Structure 1
Amino acid sequence: MIAVIDCNVGNLFSVKNALDYIGEESVITNDVDEIEKADGLILPGVGAFPNAMREVQKLNLQDVIKEQAEHKPLLGICLGMQMLFDKGFEFEECNGLGLIPGEIRMLPDKGLKIPHMGWNALQYKNPSPLLDGIPEGSYFYFVHSYMAYTDDKYISAYAEYGDEITTIVWDGKYVFGSQCHPEKSGEIGLMLLKNFGRLLK
């Protein structure tokens, strides 16, 4: 069972529909007991970093997410990935969950349109079980204006958009993040979600 964590900031149903399609049992929830019972967690998110963190705190989910991520797989998607880091600077400085060292800042101004929206290819930096069987250069769907700045050792894949855009991260244990949207990336995105599901077995 995967708990899709409802912080009032996510495209929860598209994630759940993708999990249903690949045969992964899941529930949309912000109930602490259900989160604790789940075999794995997905933290989706769309919107602004400080608003999302306020919702997490309002729902008293910060501690349970951090505790569960010490011993079961957690996947943050888009804003959910950004929330895994120490701090964000969208509109205001705001603490994140602190599960992966790093900061969330606006995409660098390289003369390209912001937000970064549409399909882009992944380039690999370090191995990740999320990327098993997915060829380098595969295209995923993006929509974001902010990105993670972190040590290279946590970056499994990046996309080129005027700079190297941190896309897939892994702490080396249980915490994973995807700046792109696997649930909106067709068959190749479903492969990434299947790989996450295998980590629960």
Structure 2
Amino acid sequence: MLIVIYLLYVKLSETIHINRLLGGRHLFLLNKAEKSPTFCINYSDKQLMNKSLLIVAHIPSPNTMMLRNAVVKGAENPDIEGIDLVVRTPFEAGPEDVLTADGIILGTTENLGYMSGALKDFFDRIYYPCLEVKQGLPYGLYIRAGHDGTGTRRAVETIVTGLRWKPVQEEALICRGEYRDEFKGECEELGMLIAAGLEAGIF
């Protein structure tokens, strides 16, 4: 069956609604402010095959676990099909997970202006096995930062730049300051957008 997926970037109660309509094999992305099409791509049969999305998140506290679960919830949105989701902590994830992934979402805490030791350990173990093979891997990043989070973002971006992974966000999602429930909505949105983009073959 031919499918049209309209992704309408309109925030309603901190979520993004994905509307599916039947009738063609195109993807229209609508501008968030103007609510008008910004570009259109065609599906290929290959793009309609399942894609693997890997989530690697450090979850040392109940709050960080809720953020990770929100990302998972977004990626598992019932309007998104064809995504095989793999969820790991940094200590559980290994090179084989990255090598089979079509996209990755990284989650870390801010630790003394740097990323968590767990995420750094993950990078140390996967860097060389994946360096030549996974160039261009699309990635998303969210950071739970009690302070600014800028140092953490720069540290992660330095490593993924070396890996030549491709960011799918203009800027990393940084959940700054005291914990707020709205962080969950932002993380859910991140998971939803990356999963939808993989399904559509945008990245």
Category of TM-score, reference length = shorter chain = 0.3 to 0.5
Name the TM-score, length of structure 1 as normaliser: 0.43
Name the TM-score, length of structure 2 as normaliser: 0.43
More helix by proportion, 1 or 2?
Answer: 2
Which one has a bigger Cα radius of gyration? 2
